[in-house]
Structure 1
Amino acid sequence: MVDRDRLFRDLLKNFFLEFVDLFFPKIAVAIDPKSIRFLEDEESLKPQEQGEHSPASTKQEASSNVLVQVRLRGQESCFWVHLENSSETNIKLERRIFHTFARLDEKYNLPIYPIILQSSDKSQRLETNGYRVEFVDRRVLDFSFVAIQLHRLNWRDFLQRRNPVAAALMPTMNVQTFDRPVVKAECLRLLTNLRLDAKKVKVISQFIEAFLHLNAAEEQVLQTEMERMGLLERERITNLLTSTTQANQQQGAEREALSLVFRLLKRRIGDLNPDLEAQVRSLPVNQVEDLGEALLDFNNEEDLKNWLRGKTA
């Protein structure tokens, strides 16, 4: 299963300035590109307990965050991009966003620009763009944020934007079923014309494939759309599709090998603790294959620990 949250994080970490330029061009020109620094702050960004007076059900679906420190017109500032994909919340969404903002404000003591990015039409619809507390005689809190609801945007409005983030995000916008092959053709056309390096092309192409995976009939329409392009453009897209397919097959084989190793480990030594599981997941594919053979001799968790220590020594 594709980790879409990871794809969004990778997109923002590779193309943060392009993301800001796509949606906030006036702000983008004020950012010093050399100052961009990504901050890891899981503690401040994770959902907090809602307290004893909260509703009985407190489950919140997973979400992703990217926190970036930049110099904006010479002033140190932060951007907080929150990917919201929950369909329901037990605490009002706007209030939950404010609570996280308040923790970040307290910790960093910097101006923070909050951006909420909704990626699915199953997401809770944001009726407002802020959280307010009012009394009869005054408003004591007026907090606002920017909400980008991708599923409500028209992909055609981004066709002429020579921006890699546009190529990635168009498939997540309001795309009619009959337009899916056309959108993919346009995304690939834009991507190949941007002349990015191989690493960045991979980030965008994986994003497009994850959000716009076509069935056999749609693939035929895609080929028809490509026939209308120029020869050089068509050749570039064909090469890109071929390399993407090969990469996806390789990744699929690696995921299957890792899944098999975890199943065998569970049978040999039981469930792994989170730290050990993370170590196994971080192994390169050749060492996963080595582990698949070595684990046949394991009797307990200590055998796995010793094997991993031997690989990192």
Structure 2
Amino acid sequence: MPLPHDEAFKKLLETFFQEFIELFFPELDSMLDYSETRFLMQELLVDIVGEEARELDLLLEIRYRGLDGYILIHLEPQSYRDTRFHERMFIYFSRLFERYRKEHKLIIPIAIFTSDEIREEQDTLEMVIPEHQILRFQFLKVELRKQNWRRFIDSDNAVAAALLAKMGYTTREARDVRREFLRMFMKLKTRLDQGRLALVMSVADLYFKPDRAQDEEIIKELMIQYPEEGEAIMELMPAWKRWGYEEGIAEGIEQGIEQGIEKGQAEIIRKLLLHGFTPEEVSKAVELPVDEIKKLV
């Protein structure tokens, strides 16, 4: 059963906290000592804005090189429009400051906006009078829809792969995003254990809209290019397992290769050629004569 969105997203940040900071806040990354990181128990804080008690999503303690001491980092994902969210972040900050100011020299609040809408999220709370600024509070933020997905496809960062479908792309680019995610996933497979791989896939599955025909086509392309990795991908595809056709895909590819250039395989070969593969490379992958491949150019 897939993890609920909030639980899955929180687990992603817990598991890949360092990768998240590296990806979106490289300057902060250079100041953190990840060897001394401790997640704190959820803080139950009273939300004056909403007049209800709320739990902070993630709060951790980590050593900060610039201060030679420990700081707090508060991570707060936000998936829906809230015109007073910036006020809530300030309230959380104030309560944390009140409680931890003697032990921690710095508190860094970070908001991760996961909405499908592209908008400018308010990240600042100010109070001023003429010629004097009483308060200026500004938290760090990541607005995923404003991130261009193409910037991340050469990365081996697990967070980049898991959140690729939440980045900014057009409807026409959706298939390319799906294929690049799977390619990124195969790179991660060489250095992550099965549990972490499954987490990346579970989060990604929350954002991709399943399209059986398209996924079948992509699997075939990848299995020709990366036969062993293609099978491994299917083992970790919850949505595809529910559809129950992974074995049929593998068998169909094998039969197609044995029977020569059938319609479906011909289309795959054309696409491989369009993507820059030479006839010789495609010939080796599908075990067909180069002359047969060149007929499709």
Partner of 1:140: 134
Partner of 1:261: none
Of 6-15 and 189-198, the range deviating more from structure 2:
189-198
* 1:160–1:33 distance in 2 versus 1, CA, 3 Å: same
Query: Which contiguous aligned blocks of 4+ residues in structure 1 show a shift greater than 6 angstroms?
Result: none
User: Mapping of 1:1-313 within 5 angstroms?
Assistant: 2-44=3-45, 48-50=47-49, 58=50, 65-73=57-65, 74-89=68-83, 92-109=84-101, 110=104, 111-122=106-117, 125-126=120-121, 128-194=122-188, 195=190, 196-223=192-219, 225-226=221-222, 230-231=225-226, 234-245=227-238, 249=242
* 1:247–1:34 distance in 2 versus 1, CA, 3 Å: farther
Q: TM-score, normalised by structure 1?
A: 0.67
Q: Matched residues in 2 for 1:107 and 1:30: separation?
A: 24
* 1:113–1:209 distance in 2 versus 1, CA, 3 Å: same
Partner of 1:281: none
* Cα deviation 1:23-62 (Å, max 9, x = unaligned): 1123223322221111123313xx5143xxxxxxx599x9
Q: Matched residues in 2 for 1:122 and 1:137: separation?
A: 37
* Cα deviation 1:53-83 (Å, max 9, x = unaligned): xxxxx599x9962111100113201111110
Q: Which amino acid aligns with 1:237?
A: G
Residue 153 of structure 1 and its aligned partner are, at CA, apart by: 1.1
* Cα deviation 1:7-31 (Å, max 9, x = unaligned): 1111111110111111112322332
Aligned residues: 234
Q: Matched residues in 1 for 2:113 and 2:91: separation?
A: 18
Q: Matched residues in 2 for 1:37 and 1:123: separation?
A: 33
CA contact (8 A) 2:42 2:56 kept: no
Residue 218 of structure 1 and its aligned partner are, at CA, apart by: 2.7
Residue 214 of structure 1 and its aligned partner are, at CA, apart by: 2.0
Residue 238 of structure 1 and its aligned partner are, at CA, apart by: 3.0
Q: Matched residues in 2 for 1:39 and 1:124: separation?
A: 32
CA contact (8 A) 1:63 1:86 kept: no
* Cα deviation 1:130-188 (Å, max 9, x = unaligned): 11101123110011111111011110011122211111111111132232232122122
Q: Decide which structure has greater helix share.
A: 1
Q: Matched residues in 2 for 1:206 and 1:183: separation?
A: 16
Give the root-mean-square deviation of aligned CA atoms: 2.8
Q: Matched residues in 2 for 1:76 and 1:16: separation?
A: 16
Q: TM-score, normalised by structure 2?
A: 0.70
Long gaps (5+) in structure 2: 243-297
Q: Matched residues in 1 for 2:25 and 2:138: separation?
A: 16
Instruction: Give the fraction of aligned pairs with identical amino acids, expressed as a percent.
Output: 25
Name the SS for the 1:36 alignment partner: strand
Name the SS for the 2:59 alignment partner: strand
Name the SS for the 2:57 alignment partner: strand
Long gaps (5+) in structure 1: 51-57, 250-313
CA contact (8 A) 1:114 1:146 kept: yes
* 1:59–1:209 distance in 2 versus 1, CA, 3 Å: farther
Q: Matched residues in 1 for 2:225 and 2:12: separation?
A: 29
